[in-house]
Amino acid sequence: MRQPLLWPWLNFDVDDVAAPAIAVGVDVTETKAEVREHWHRKGQLVFALGGGVTCRVPGGLWMVPPHCGVWVPSRLEHSNIATANARIFFVYIEPGAAELPERCCTLSISPLLRELIIELSECAPDDARCDFLGKVLLAELPLMPVQQLHLPISAEPRLRRIAEALADDPSDRSTLAQWANRVALSESSLARLVVRETGLSFGRWRQQLHLIVALRELSAGVSVQQVSGDLGYESVTAFITMFRKALGKPPAKYLSDIAQNGSAFVD
């Protein structure tokens, strides 16, 4: 059964609006906001202008750092968790209105597209200006580069158990052998299972979770020192080294480039 109400602040069903693209802005209060699993006929872009959003879909966890967006295709069940004091925009797009991926992905958002989204959220769907802005947005959005900011999550019960435990306590530094013992597998069997189900080694999979948590918390204004400690790193330097190797830049530079350019990867 479809749950049409996406966020408590919305008082209409977005699927009832005929416009090819509409946008809604939401300012989250001092406490984080969570919306349970739901889906809608329109595709959805979740865009964070400030703070961060984590989207969970079947098979994956997607991070929306500031000035990026997560594309959620039509009819795909998902849930959203926004950090405290986040400023979020949702762009709802009619199926087939633009050449967008058939799977979830994290997109960089250019300064032009950012302003289009903001302007679109401030005009009525039946306004001629809204129609024009929507057409430009639908032409620009497919051109945005994809960023690999997601965690593959398997439906396999033992891996889901590990994923949920690490999400609850990302500082847990248990070894592969220790996790294998907890889920009644041999170390080699668990290693093969993780690769088969996620495409990543166990170490790389856990590191990806750390990156998602780190970006979410850093986007909410938490210090690098605090994030480093919360993730169980022995030093801030070790955390920054991991971050730089994974994303090409230290945390401050990465987030700064996204804020200034709409992408952390600038030619």
Nearest to 212 by CA among 61, 42, 6, 12: 61
Task: Give just the sign of the alpha carbon dihedral 177, 183, 185, 191.
Answer: negative
Task: Looking at 96-200, list the stretches that DSSP marks H as alpha helix, in order from N- to C-terminal side.
Answer: 111-121, 128-140, 157-168, 176-182, 187-198
Residue 179: which domain range? Answer: 154-261
Residue ranges of the chain whose pLDDT lies below 70: 1-12, 30-33, 66, 259-267
CATH code at position 87: 2.60.120.280
* pLDDT of the residue at 168: 80
CB 140 within 8 Å of CB 117: no
Query: Which of 147, 164, 199 is the endpoint of a domain?
Result: 147
- Same domain assignment for residues 129 and 181: no
- Same domain assignment for residues 118 and 202: no
* pLDDT of the residue at 4: 39
Work out how many domains the chain is built from and give that number: 2
User: What is the DSSP annotation of 134-146?
Assistant: HHHHHHHGGGSPE
Nearest to 41 by CA among 68, 92, 75: 75
* pLDDT of the residue at 10: 54
* pLDDT of the residue at 6: 44
**Residue 38: DSSP 8-state:** E
* pLDDT of the residue at 95: 94
The rounded distance, in Å, linking the Cα atoms of 92 and 165 is 33
* pLDDT of the residue at 60: 85
User: Looking at the domain assignment, is residue 1 inside a domain?
Assistant: no
- Same domain assignment for residues 35 and 128: yes
Query: Which of 115, 147, 179 is the endpoint of a domain?
Result: 147
- Same domain assignment for residues 112 and 181: no
* pLDDT of the residue at 113: 94
Query: Which of 94, 120, 147 is the endpoint of a domain?
Result: 147
- Same domain assignment for residues 54 and 170: no
